[in-house]
Chain A
Amino acid sequence: MAPEIALLLASPLAGGIALALFGHRDRAAEVNIAFSLLTFVASAALVARVGAEGPLLAAGEQFFIDSLNVFLVALTAFVAMTTAVFSAPYMRIERDHGRVSPAGLRLYHSMYQLFSLAMLLVLTTNNLGVMWVAMEAATLTTVLLVALYRTHASLEAAWKYFILCGVGIAQALLGTILVYFAAEKILGAGVGSLLWTHLEAVKDQLEPTVMSIAFVFLLVGYGTKVGLVPLHNWLPDAHAEGPTPISAVLSGLLLNVALYALIRFKVITDGALERPFASALLMGFGLLSVVVATFFLSRQRDVKRMFAYSSIEHMGLITFAFGMGGPVASFAGLLHMTVHSLTKSAIFFAVGHAAQKAGTQVMADIRGLIRVNPTVGWGLMLGTVAILGMPPFGVFASEFLILTTAIALHPWAAPILLLSLGIAFAAIFGKVQPMVFGETNARQLSHPPALVPVFAHLAIVLALGLYMPPYLADWYRQAARLIG
């Protein structure tokens, strides 16, 4: 068992348990940060090791780290940490406003840790069955957090989230069973047939029909969690009604993780089938998601809901990129995963404080943030500008690559995508601009907002748009090669 992985998983587990006991104490937030930091350190060590030694199998092949998931691990750990930093003052303010009880805080903190544990498990495990279990666990942990405020809306959102994702994940299990069924023919019964590395090795011998049916189930299953249209319906509700830190990690991390699982299966399926079946499906769903989500945007009143739809849109874009395949598109997809999760979480941080200041999430009632609190205003403005794909932010870099590849490979799709992006721009910017600028109605907060994460994220995104360090680029390239 590699110590890094052990630490990586042990730290959130311990954190979860510890905070389940003392999560309501005053310093719980700091403890939360500490554990997240520890996790991040572990992930950094893991990155270093994988960077040095290449792909890594651990604990009797139960864990497999290659360049594809290692950067997702790092990203997840990092965003989880920054979100913890952000949530410290945020949740205090929520408590002061009497929206959460101490018990609620305890639940929140412990579940936060367990959630990151689940995600890290999904990312690091080599066993597709364990991957499913962990994914389900991620759902279960977040369901309670979405319902944290115990209001009508939050309960409704949580209920929908649970039912839809539960049903979806059930389909994913069926898909996993089918994969196992196909693999068993070659690898024989037992855990071995569920290990991705083994499957990857024999993927061209797997039975095509079974694999295609399996992939359908997996797509519907994990696709629900990715938020692909028309399986997305839980997503805006859950984002809008949950506590903002949770919206941030849902948008920034969980969607990525689900997509990661889908990609793993896509690799095997494409290997098994000679025709580009999985790719075609991914492209189709990606395109649909982009277009539909775009049209939803302009009707939104609730700011978090709007950005949830924007997440659907971006996930669709990424899915489309992976569907196209090829070194450039996959590279772009991975890059877009990174910048999207950084930017979107940053936006949610800013939005969270903005909503606390204005005392509402209704955009029409949030005005002139830049006057009362420039950092929140600028955070929101720059984040929005970045997520809308304005240079020199990194989102533009990945979108540029995706779109140019689309123009080269599928010219029919490029105008659709660009048009959707244009409409999304009109919708989002038109709503955010008056929130940031103009006369204000916001109030002061009881705790100083922690906005370092916002600007840290945006700085990274900006840097990625202008300059990508060679090792990072190689890393993405290798990952892209794995995806094919």
Chain B
Amino acid sequence: MLQHYGPQLVNLFAAVLLLLSFSMLAQRRIISLINLYAAQGFVLFLSTALVAWLTGQTHLYGSAGLTLALKVIALPWILHRLIRRLNVKWDVETLINIPTTMLVGIVLVILAFNLALPISQLAGTVTRSTFGIALASVLLSFLMMITRSKAVPQVIGFLAMENGLFFAATGAVYGMPMVIEFGVALDVLVGALILGIFVFEIRERFDSVDTRHLEKLKER
């Protein structure tokens, strides 16, 4: 019977994912941002595991585990330490106000769905309709990176975008080959570490993590 409900569950997860992306877009407090990111990772883990179970693609279990390890545990932990060290718990003021952002986000979702339509028709997978959502969440996190002025939220947006990608990978195709999965994961991890280092450096130099201080290099 899970065979029967499975696809619907996956769609449910997808919906939750989209919801989370939206709430990240709307969220002002950094800590909750990180938690939302972790939650997203967790949903991702669930859906991947489910897809793995549904389709019997064993290597997807691997990537599910990877997701759990990396996106639910490792990265949130790093980020938490980061902001504790930087003690930037205060609110994030966005460059564009939230409602506008949301409106833009909705437009993006529509676009993404339209775009994904032909692809979903092609997809012979149980998870066909998820691709649009994956695309949508990628675009949403892109939007989030644009609208946030602080360094850490931008990092989170970057990671969220990677989540969306991962979801696309599991959604549209049953995950990339394992090699690639590992490679991607490694890159993300290293990237996150480097970003962490950077945020500290920036903090030291500019005694603030507001990227609006990073506007010296420009054309006059």
Contacts and interface: CB of A to CB of B under 8 A. Distances in A.
Interface of A: 127, 129-130, 132-133, 136-137, 140, 143-144, 147, 150-153, 155-160, 162-163, 166-167, 170, 173-174, 177-178, 180-181, 184-185, 189-191, 194, 207, 209-210, 213, 236-237, 240-241, 296, 299, 301
A193 to B, nearest CB: 8
A236 to B, nearest CB: 8
B174 A189 contact: yes
A301 B186 CA distance: 39
Contact of A162 (B172, B174, B194): B194
A213 B168 CA distance: 14
B172 A181 contact: yes
B198 interface: yes
B86 to A, nearest CB: 15
A181 B173 contact: yes
Nearest to B122: A207
Interface in B18-44: none
B165 interface: yes
Contact of A133 (B158, B174, B184, B195): B184
A160 B214 contact: yes
Nearest to B146: A167
Interface string B114-156: 0100110011100000000001001000100100000100100
Name the prevailing secondary structure of the B interface residues.
helix
Interface in B190-220: 190-191, 194-195, 198, 201-202, 205-206, 211, 214-217, 219-220
Contact of B138 (A133, A152, A174, A209): A174
A236 B216 CA distance: 13
Closest 5 CB pairs of A and B: A133-B183, A129-B180, A156-B214, A136-B187, A237-B217
B203 to A, nearest CB: 10
Given A140-B191, A163-B158, A299-B220, A177 B206 contact: no
Contacts of A144: 194
Given A160-B217, A162-B195, A178-B119, 6 more contacts: A129-B177, A156-B216, A163-B154, A167-B161, A180-B176, A185-B124
Contact of B205 (A152, A157, A167, A299): A152
B169 interface: yes
B165 A167 contact: no
Nearest to B142: A167
Contacts of A191: 177, 179
B177 A190 contact: yes
A180 to B, nearest CB: 6
Contacts of B162: 170
A179 to B, nearest CB: 10
Contact of B180 (A130, A160, A170, A178): A130
A244 B190 CA distance: 25
Contacts of A160: 214, 217
Name the prevailing secondary structure of the A interface residues.
helix
A419 B91 CA distance: 51
B198 A158 contact: yes
A114 to B, nearest CB: 11
Nearest to A184: B173
Contact of A155 (B158, B174, B194, B198): B198
A309 to B, nearest CB: 10
Contacts of A296: 219
B217 A210 contact: no
A177 B211 contact: no
B187 A210 contact: no
Given A133-B184, A184-B173, A209 B198 contact: no
Contacts, number: 122
B198 A180 contact: no
A103 to B, nearest CB: 13
A194 B177 contact: yes
Contacts of A167: 142, 145, 158, 161
Contacts of A140: 187, 190-191, 194
Contacts of A155: 198, 201-202, 205, 214
A307 to B, nearest CB: 15
Contacts of B151: 159
B206 to A, nearest CB: 7
B165 A174 contact: yes
A181 B214 contact: no
A296 B124 CA distance: 49
Given A162-B195, A170-B165, A210 B122 contact: yes
Looking at A132, A170, A301, the one whose CB has the most chain B CB atoms below 10 A away is A170
Contacts of B124: 185
Given A129-B183, A130-B183, A159 B202 contact: yes
Given A133-B183, A167-B158, A170-B162, A159 B198 contact: yes
A144 B162 CA distance: 21
Contacts of B115: 213
23 contacts: A127-B180, A129-B176, A132-B180, A133-B184, A137-B187, A140-B190, A140-B191, A143-B194, A150-B205, A152-B206, A153-B216, A155-B201, A155-B202, A155-B214, A157-B217, A159-B198, A160-B214, A180-B173, A181-B173, A184-B173, A185-B122, A210-B118, A296-B219
Contacts of A143: 194
Contact of A173 (B158, B165, B177, B202): B165
Contact of A177 (B168, B191, B205, B220): B168
Contacts of B183: 129-130, 132-133
B161 A133 contact: no
A240 B219 CA distance: 13
A210 B168 CA distance: 14
B122 A194 contact: no
A190 B58 CA distance: 12
A156 B219 contact: no
Contacts of B176: 129, 177, 180, 194
Given A155-B201, A174-B138, A190-B177, A166 B119 contact: no
B7 to A, nearest CB: 18
Nearest to A214: B119
